[in-house]
Amino acid sequence: MKKRCYITTPIYYPSGNAHLGHTYCTTMCDIFARYKRNMGVETYFLTGTDEHGLKIQKNAEKAGITPQEYVDKIANDFQNLWKTLKITNDDFIRTTQERHIKVVQEVFSEFLKNDDIYLGSYEGWYCVPCESFWTETQVGENHVCPDCGRPVNKASEETYFFRCNKYLDVVLDDFKKDKFVYPISRKNEMMNNFIKPGLNDLCVSRTSFTWGINIKENPKHVIYVWLDALLNYISALGYKSSDDSLFQKFWNNDDVEIIHVVGADISRFHTIYWPMFLKALNLRQPDRIFVHGLLMTKDGKMSKSKGNVISPMPLIERYGLDAVRYYMVREIIFGQDGQFTADQFIERINADLVNNYGNLVNRVLSMINKYFKGIIPNYKKRVNEKDIKLDSLIDETIKEYITLMDDLKLTEAVSKVMDLLSSANKYIEESTPWALAKDESKKEELEIVMNNLARSIFVSTMLLKPVLIDSNEKVFNFLGINNVKFSDVYDKEFLNNNKLNPTEILYQRLDLNTELEYIKEHIKSV
């Protein structure tokens, strides 16, 4: 494990307010960032907004305000939502900030100087929502965007191009690396749909609209949104600034793991063009580009134009952050498409948080209070097979969890923890502590059982700490511990003789019909 980690979300396009799809990606990155910090890895977590382009300009015109006024409001709404969600990002980059504009202009000038960019003209099909040019073959006879399926328009204008074939070998080398692009289906998609058919040089400027960063050498051109936007990952770190200490620490350093998490709809720009830009700047490549799936509703992909977006706020206000975060990481396998449905949401909370986790906490701590006056029995060597089995499972779960989390298999990692909790619940029924408590000769056996269960709760709570950010401190407090660190999960005597604090119900069971009515009333898309 490297000493440092730099993780980024995509910078979101503020053509409308943040929805559950944005929340999903940002939350998953937040879970990973919190995990890395728990492991003692110095972590820098970046998110932000991509604020230029024709679509923004048109939306601002419709609203009767300037593009800057338009993006200022929505970017502020994004930042306020992340604060409400307790997202632990270290920075929020906006592409209209001077620190970013300066870097983009300097990079463009460098590319011009090194003959990585040349002036030409473009005629083809343009998708406004995706800010993408396409060839006749790509749009097909129906003339629709291959990314979003919406109609494209014929466009012709003078433009600058980036020489892609000059750096194609870089992309091919990156694609040979294990999990550089993940899932592998996304890598295959890029190879088969874009690289093998022949990669055209990339259009990197526009003259048909004005809302963008002007090229210093030719001000009638604005820099194409995808060259502009991708540079956020280094402009936010102070690249080419008088203070580039963050850049040196979190990019220009072999001991940092760099991970970009992006949506499937922008994977082409991140997996093909971004490595080319970096090579042209003589900068290192990221370690991983992880393409997460889409969070959909019954009406398909969430889209502001479709009107099927879901705000996370009604869910958070009624069920709390933990429930929403847990559902996202547990129900939807990270890297695959998933669908939000109201019944799945309620059933997942009841099954996992209420029955499996919350019920275990309440039952075990109640028994420790009843049988041992609230004092957790000391750890003793396990003798019985069932005691040894649970003790070993705790150790195995810790190991597997770390391996899966480091591999960004967040869903699978959390699933392992829930398996441990399920085993602990089953262990109660097998061990029958209520029967052991009636037999004084079984006291030591009862002590082992209750210590085993308390340790299961403690370890599970620590492993779920990046996900359940509101309840974990409650459970630690119930167990009578504070200032806890991850390495404590390896100390089998950590809970010895701890005095429990007063407890309360961790999660209330939800009535399915009542909650379905609430969700349907507040969220029309489900």
In this prediction, residues 264-276 reach a mean pLDDT of 94
30-34, 290-294, 350-354, 484-488: segment of lowest average pLDDT: 290-294
pLDDT for the residue 317: 93
The yes-or-no verdict on residue 427 having pLDDT over 50 is yes
Q: Which CATH class is domain 341-490?
A: mainly alpha
pLDDT tens digits for range 369-386? 999 999 999 999 998 999
pLDDT in tens, 7-25: 999 999 988 778 888 999 9
- Cα dihedral value 137, 140, 145, 149, nearest 10: -150
Q: Is the pLDDT of residue 481 over 50?
A: yes
Provide the 3-class DSSP secondary structure of residue 2: coil
Residue 399, pLDDT above cutoff 50: yes
pLDDT of residue 526: 44
pLDDT for position 215: 97
For 373-434, the DSSP string reads: TTBPPPP----SHHHHHHHHHHHHHHHHHHHHHHTT-HHHHHHHHHHHHHHHHHHHHHH-HH
Contact present, 291 and 310 (Cβ < 8 Å): no
pLDDT of residue 335: 84
CB 41 within 8 A of CB 3: yes
Sign, CA dihedral 58-60-66-68, equals negative
Does residue 309 have a pLDDT over 80?
A: no
Give the residue-averaged pLDDT of 454-467: 98
Residue-wise pLDDT for 38-79, tens only, equals 999 999 999 999 999 988 999 999 999 999 999 999 999 999
> What would the mean pLDDT of 400-426 be, rounded to a whole number?
98
Question: Where is pLDDT greater, at 153 or 481?
Answer: 481
Lowest mean pLDDT among 23-27, 333-337, 457-461, 501-505: 333-337
Give me the pLDDT at residue 265, please. Answer: 87
Highest mean pLDDT among 50-64, 146-160, 273-287: 273-287
More confident residue, 16 or 498: 498
Q: Are 183 and 289 in contact (CB under 8 A)?
A: no
Give the pLDDT band (50/70/90) at residue 298. low
Write the single-letter amino acid at 170.
Answer: V
| Choice among 85-99, 125-139, 423-437 with the minimum mean pLDDT | 125-139
pLDDT of residue 524 exceeding 60, the answer is no
Report domain extents, the chain: 4-292, 341-490
Q: Which CATH superfamily is domain 4-292 in?
A: HUPs (3.40.50.620)
- CA 92, chain centre distance (Å): 15
516 pLDDT exceeds 70?
Answer: yes
pLDDT range class, residue 135, cuts 50, 70, 90: confident
Q: Please tell me which residue, 366 or 309, carries the higher pLDDT value.
A: 366
Banded model confidence at residue 164, pLDDT cuts 50, 70, 90: very high
The whole-number average pLDDT for the span 477-484 is 94
Residue 133, phi then psi, degrees to nearest 5: -90, 145
CA distance 95 to 101: 7
**What pLDDT is stored for residue 1 in this prediction?**
82
Tell me the mean pLDDT in the region 75-84: 94
SS3 174: helix
149-153, 250-254, 353-357, 500-504: which has the minimum mean pLDDT?
A: 149-153
Residue 215 makes CB contacts below 8 A (sequence gap 6+) with 105, 108, 160, 205, 221, 222, 223
Q: Which residue has the higher pLDDT, 157 or 454?
A: 454
Between CA 89 and CA 49 the distance in angstroms is 13
- Looking at the chain, the whole-number percentage of residues with pLDDT higher than 70 is 97
What average pLDDT does the segment 123-149 reach?
81
Burial of residue 80, with CB atoms counted within 10 A of its CB: 0-12 exposed, 13-18 middle, 19 or more buried: exposed
Lowest mean pLDDT among 21-25, 161-165, 423-427: 21-25
